[in-house]
Amino acid sequence: MLSRKSFIGYTVAYARLVSDTHRMSLQEIVVMIHDGEYGRAIASLEFEVKDESKPPQTRVECCRWLAECNHRLEDYKEAGDWYIEAVRIILKTDADNRSKAEQALPLCSKALEAYEKGGDPADVLVAARVKQYLVGLEK
């Protein structure tokens, strides 16, 4: 019998194959999440995040939903990784440093919380350092 994590992994792999043929709107993906179809939602969201032609805010929103899916699946390390990816996307924008920090700081805090639940000490350390950096940008 497959473990829950293995089952989700296979579902995500299958959904990646299927999602290449049908792109979904963020609203459709959110409906899947609320219906508990995390594998399909994760595959579609990952596709959207990788599409650099999408506006940064859309990609950040997809990262947030990816983190939420993984949090619901109790994969806290992966959730933290997606919050940190959202922070990276924000920091690459042309906004002023204060605005970047205001947008990224809550996400970095969520990453830190997720890593404390299920990441390794290195993840916690990196998130804490990024948070310190963002606090410095706010000033």
Helix (H, G, I), strand (E, B) or coil at 65: helix
DSSP secondary structure code for residue 21 in this structure: T
The tokens describing 139, both together, are 């000033």
Task: Quote the pLDDT of residue 7.
Answer: 58
Read off the CATH number of the domain in which 52 is found. Answer: 1.25.40.10
pLDDT in tens, 70-128: 999 999 999 999 999 999 999 999 999 999 999 999 999 999 999 999 989 999 999 99
Report the 10 Å Cβ neighbour count for 106.
Answer: 13
The pTM score is 0.83
| Integer Cα distance of 41 and 37 in angstroms | 6
Domains held by the chain: number: 1
CB 48 within 8 A of CB 59: yes
What's the pLDDT band for 23 if we cut at 50, 70, 90? confident
Q: What domain range is 23 assigned to?
A: 4-138
The tokens describing 80, both together, are 């933290």
